């Protein structure tokens, strides 16, 4: 173990060996916090004799949890398998599976996703005779999620806002929404944390069981916790107080999701006498990049304070570019990507970050035009595709037959000619007997014939296979026995959809091969807890486009941050809200520190927004970066300088006597002569038979030709090919 400790710097070593009592590790970007966490666990196991089952390590993504578990196993061997290294949600799912019956739920609950939540809220709004225009489902869901993050039940919410009409109606929707979830034995993501806290508070013996089990607790990314997650940690660590939280208040960027930065800022109040350790040495980025991040973040108030530094030297200057418009910005980005590829960088080494998803459209258009490989990480998730959601709904109903949400989705998919009258009959049976739709069908199967009886037999037979055949075979049987496979044969897009379902089956097979004790419940939980970042493939050689929020936790040799304009980044809303502006500044800090070697910051004088051209000023964050750290190129200033040069040259030409140009005879026919023979380059003055005199703005080789962008005095900018333009250089 001493050899491992020798690989750490001083603060890292202190964080690893301070195992007893509360510890707050303020870990700057790229400061080796994952190494600290894994070495700390290894140190506890090997040097302190802590049993692996007495350790709970919490992360925010499955990807991070797997990386941590793999690293610990590499250090200490198979003993790591007895630890809990999980996300907040997956840890709570495991706890609830074992003990949720203590608070009145069934252990075979399903977890619904965002789309199911939205549909359920729509039902509630309709049943309460409210308007979706006045109560948009997304806004209602955000309000419900925020309430659950604060551990507010529907009753708490309605009491809190009893005198405010709009919010009191939100409370009615929230109450109906929870009733429907409870009736279907379904939970949403926020319930996983909220109900675990409730379980611990209502059942002290269950809390004592987990306190005795988890005597040592580690939590990563603590700045991203919300009130419910913080309460969960406080409950679990309340007795032994061997709690180590690792985070960076400067990277708290999820306020819109309910993250509360005060959890990390006030950790020492929750645990008096806590040791605070700062990790400031960076192992990722050059000093120029770090100084830029430091320059921005120091303008925030109410932070713990730290300054990133590295031993790796200053590195290249940051490149800032101010485009004429958003398409010019995209052209500049494409040009830099081509240059980087020529310098030996892989496309996969390059990330383009934007504040909002909508900002990617113009860049994607230009990448497609130029046939450059790219992917958008925040695009449609595999599990959001209709055919995959249909298959998952079948699996959820097989697992929990009381799941009315899933049954309604797939009872008539593929079509079984089950109409509204039949569904109304089933609903009436269920309401009268206070049972789920499936149980209503089961109890009246003799009256409900045809497609309903066919559907019931399919689900009944598939349910009997759970635990009897491997999970991938079960998914395959669902696909075929449900009639879905046959329906896709008649679908124009059936081939692609069938391939997606084939991938789902392959994923189930991979799960069965890589998990020690594969079971259907764990497989289903894994399906709904997976995120976009968990599926990020670092080996795919394509430029990555993503939001700045999605980039957190990742790093790239080259980062291009686009939309560096006031009103884009920071957003318009943040420009007039001090707290939002501080959040945006932390987001800027995160975006900058994703870069390892090269960083580009691009903005634009004007952009097309909702069909209208809007003018922008440079981002105020650029003013916070010391000028000596970056080189600024302004397309408009460059163009103006070239125009001035052109005017001066033309003025001088008018004062000289004109002479006839001497024709050049070549042995090669003109139509085959490469335009490069003219040796024209950016900045040269040229003459064109139709457009007159102009200055070359750019010259890019294209096969045996050259593509020129030329600003002509008479008509402005034109794009011409050298073979056909017949340009004459003006000396």
Residue 654's alpha-carbon distances to 645, 647, 648, in angstroms, are: 14, 11, 10
Q: Is 251 a catalytic residue?
A: yes
Token representation of residue 536: 């990020």
Residue of 33, 215, 399, 642 marked active site: 33
Residue of 17, 19, 34, 153 marked active site: 34
Residue of 594, 607, 620, 642 marked active site: 594
Q: Is beta strand 110-111 parallel, antiparallel or unpaired with respect to 692-702?
A: unpaired
Looking from the CA of 167 toward its CB, the CA atoms found within 13 Å total 13
Residue of 143, 186, 220, 390 marked active site: 220
Residue of 99, 149, 190, 221 marked active site: 221
Q: Beginning with the edge strand found earlier in the chain, give each strand of the sheet holding 556-561 in spatial order.
A: 374-376, 543-547, 350-354, 556-561, 595-604, 318-323, 630-634
Cβ neighbourhood burial of 668 (10 Å; 0-12, 13-18, 19+)? exposed
The distance from CA 700 to its chain's CA centroid, rounded to whole angstroms, is 36
Q: Is 33 a catalytic residue?
A: yes
Closest listed residue to residue 256, CA positions, set 138, 343, 350: 138
Asked whether the beta carbons of 545 and 363 are under 8 A apart, the reply is: yes
Residue 404's alpha-carbon distances to 117, 126, 181, 188, 393, in angstroms, are: 13, 17, 9, 14, 10
Give the whole-angstrom CA distance, residue 119 versus residue 130. 15
Q: Is 229 a catalytic residue?
A: no
Whether the upstream peptide bond of residue 136 has omega within 30° of 0, thus cis, is no
Give the whole-angstrom CA distance, residue 699 versus residue 682. 6
Long-range CB contacts (within 8 A, 24+) of 606-610: 606/324, 606/325, 606/326, 607/325, 607/326, 607/565, 607/568, 608/325, 608/326
The distance from CA 53 to its chain's CA centroid, rounded to whole angstroms, is 31
Residue of 251, 286, 287, 596 marked active site: 251
Q: Is 169 a catalytic residue?
A: no
- The structure tokens 């023979």 sit at 677
Residue 45's alpha-carbon distances to 19, 261, 290, 680, 702, in angstroms, are: 11, 31, 35, 69, 61
Angle at 641 (CA atoms; ends 637, 644), nearest 5 degrees: 140
SS3 656: coil
- DSSP 8-state secondary structure symbol assigned to residue 362: H
Q: Is 34 a catalytic residue?
A: yes
Token representation of residue 545: 């486009």
Token representation of residue 284: 């990722």
Q: Is 221 a catalytic residue?
A: yes
Positions marked catalytic: 33-34, 220-221, 251, 594
């Amino acid at each position: 173990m001493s050899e491992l400790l020798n690989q750490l710097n001083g603060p890292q070593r202190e964080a690893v060996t301070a195992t007893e009592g509360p510890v707050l590790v303020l870990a700057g970007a790229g400061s080796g916090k994952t190494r600290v966490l894994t070495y700390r666990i290894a140190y506890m196991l090997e040097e302190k004799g802590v049993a692996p089952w007495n350790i709970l390590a919490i992360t925010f993504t499955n990807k991070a949890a797997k990386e941590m578990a793999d690293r610990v196993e590499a250090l200490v061997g198979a003993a790591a398998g007895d630890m809990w290294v999980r996300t907040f949600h997956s840890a709570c799912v495991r706890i609830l599976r074992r003990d949720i019956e203590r608070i009145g739920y069934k252990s075979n609950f399903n977890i619904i996703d965002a789309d199911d939540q939205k549909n359920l809220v729509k039902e509630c709004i309709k049943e309460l005779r409210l308007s979706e225009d006045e109560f948009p489902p997304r806004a209602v869901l955000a309000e419900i999620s925020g309430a659950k993050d604060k551990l507010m039940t529907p009753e708490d919410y309605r009491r809190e806002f009893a005198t405010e009409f709009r919010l009191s109606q939100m409370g009615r929707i929230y109450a109906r929404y929870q009733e429907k979830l409870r009736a279907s034995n379904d939970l949403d993501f926020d319930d996983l944390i909220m109900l675990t806290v409730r379980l611990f508070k209502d059942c002290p013996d269950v809390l004592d069981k987990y306190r005795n089990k988890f005597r040592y607790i580690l939590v990563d990314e603590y700045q991203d916790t919300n009130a419910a997650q913080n309460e969960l940690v406080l409950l679990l660590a309340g007795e032994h107080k061997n709690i180590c939280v690792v985070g960076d208040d400067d990277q708290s960027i999820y306020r819109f999701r309910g993250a509360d930065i005060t959890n990390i800022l006030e950790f020492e109040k929750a645990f008096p006498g806590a040791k605070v350790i700062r990790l400031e040495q960076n192992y990722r980025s050059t000093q120029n990049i770090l100084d830029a991040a430091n320059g921005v973040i120091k303008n925030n108030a109410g932070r713990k304070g730290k300054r990133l530094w590295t031993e790796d030297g200053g590195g290249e200057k940051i490149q800032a570019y101010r485009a004429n418009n958003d398409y010019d910005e995209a052209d500049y980005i494409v040009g830099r990507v081509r240059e980087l590829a020529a310098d030996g960088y892989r496309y996969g080494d390059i990330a383009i970050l934007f504040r909002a998803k909508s900002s990617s459209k113009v860049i994607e258009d230009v990448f497609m035009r130029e046939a450059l490989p790219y992917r958008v990480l925040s695009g449609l998730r595999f599990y959001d595709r209709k055919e995959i959601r249909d298959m998952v709904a079948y699996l959820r109903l097989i697992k929990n037959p009381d799941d009315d949400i899933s049954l309604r989705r797939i009872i008539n998919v593929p079509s079984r000619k089950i109409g509204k009258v039949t569904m109304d009959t089933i609903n009436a049976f269920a309401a009268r007997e206070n049972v789920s739709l499936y149980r209503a069908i089961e109890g009246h199967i003799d009256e409900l014939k045809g497609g309903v009886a066919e559907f019931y037999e399919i689900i009944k037979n598939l349910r009997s296979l759970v635990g009897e055949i491997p999970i991938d075979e079960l998914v395959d049987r669902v696909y075929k026995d449900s009639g879905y496979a046959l329906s896709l044969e008649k679908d124009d897009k059936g081939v692609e959809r069938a391939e997606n379902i084939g991938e789902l089956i392959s994923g189930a097979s991979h799960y069965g091969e890589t998990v020690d004790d594969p079971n259907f419940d764990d497989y289903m939980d894994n399906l709904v807890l997976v995120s976009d970042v968990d599926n990020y493939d670092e080996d795919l050689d394509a430029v990555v486009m993503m939001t700045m929020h999605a980039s957190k936790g990742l790093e790239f040799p080259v980062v291009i941050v686009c939309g560096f304009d006031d009103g884009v980044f920071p957003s318009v809303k943040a420009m007039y809200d001090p707290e939002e502006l501080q959040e945006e500044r932390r987001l800027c800090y995160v975006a900058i520190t994703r870069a390892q070697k090269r960083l580009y910051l691009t903005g634009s004088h004007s952009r097309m927004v909702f069909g209208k051209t809007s003018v922008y000023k440079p981002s105020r964050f650029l003013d916070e970066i010391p000028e000596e750290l970056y080189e600024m190129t302004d397309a408009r200033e460059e163009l103006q300088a070239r125009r001035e040069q052109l005017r001066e040259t033309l003025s001088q030409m008018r004062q000289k006597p004109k002479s006839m140009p001497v024709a050049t005879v070549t042995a090669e026919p003109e139509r085959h002569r490469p335009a490069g023979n003219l040796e024209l380059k950016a900045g040269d003055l040229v003459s064109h038979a139709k457009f007159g005199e102009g200055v070359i703005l750019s010259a890019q080789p294209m096969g045996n030709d050259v593509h020129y962008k030329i600003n002509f005095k008479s008509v402005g900018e034109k794009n011409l090919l050298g073979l056909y333009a017949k340009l004459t250089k003006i000396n």
